């Protein structure tokens, strides 16, 4: 799957530091307050995933990323699996099948609506980096949960379409946690599409 260079985001994601020794700098969210912050890396989120999220939130975290991946690759089978995961956070039952195929406009609406809600808390701030010794722009998140969704949005963390596990990509074009899962998923998708075409043909 090709990447859109306009979607590349490199701003650091920061949260309030729990201990001063963890701090990477200071944040000034308003005119009155300042506090120590630490930069959140994808490795931090991956390691703490089960601590950051409730079991229900894990479905939302993986499902929303799988939904975006399925949309980008126009994978109708994977879209159905992803919708099942995110359904509890939507406004009602989702109708994704139309006489002409998958309702991709509906998929876009669901993804953008959910992600916009999840990104309401994080905001752009100016913070002072101890390492750089200067003020820098960053995305301040009120908690680790919000930071995890920001990194997911930035594509620093991805979710394997085959197994649903999150992983940190080693290259820009890595879409599966292992090459074997890529082969298995593409094979299953091809068979599913062939079955759908055969069923549609038999109904005519």
For 40-77, the pLDDT digits (tens) are 999 999 999 889 999 889 999 999 999 999 999 999 88
- Per-residue pLDDT band for 185 (boundaries 50, 70, 90) equals very high
Q: CA 112 to CA 184: how far, in whole Å?
A: 29
93: left (phi over 0), alpha (psi -120 to 50) or beta: beta
Mean pLDDT of 6-23: 82
Mean pLDDT of 129-140: 92
pLDDT score of 30:
67
Report yes or no: 141 and 147 within 8 Å, Cβ to Cβ: yes
Res 23 pLDDT > 50: yes
Total-model pTM = 0.85
Residues 147-180 have pLDDT tens digits of: 999 999 999 999 999 999 999 999 989 999 999 9
């Amino acid at each position: 799957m090709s990447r859109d260079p306009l979607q590349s985001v490199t701003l650091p994601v920061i949260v309030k530091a729990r201990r001063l020794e963890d701090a990477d700098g200071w944040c000034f969210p308003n005119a009155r307050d300042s506090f120590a912050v630490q930069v959140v890396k994808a490795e931090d989120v991956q390691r703490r995933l089960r601590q950051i999220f409730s079991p229900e939130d894990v479905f939302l975290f993986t499902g929303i990323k799988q939904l975006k991946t399925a949309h980008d690759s126009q994978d109708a089978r994977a879209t159905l699996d992803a919708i099942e995961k995110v359904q509890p956070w939507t406004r009602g039952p989702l109708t994704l099948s139309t006489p002409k195929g998958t309702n991709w406009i509906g998929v876009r609406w669901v993804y953008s609506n959910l992600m916009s809600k999840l990104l309401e808390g994080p905001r752009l701030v100016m913070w002072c980096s101890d390492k750089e010794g200067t003020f820098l722009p960053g995305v301040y998140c009120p908690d680790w949960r919000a930071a995890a969704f920001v990194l997911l949005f930035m594509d620093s963390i991805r979710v394997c379409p085959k197994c649903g596990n999150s992983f940190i990509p080693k290259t820009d074009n890595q879409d599966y946690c292992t090459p074997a899962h890529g082969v298995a998923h593409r094979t299953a998708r091809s068979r599913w599409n062939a079955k759908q075409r055969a069923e549609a043909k038999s109904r005519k």
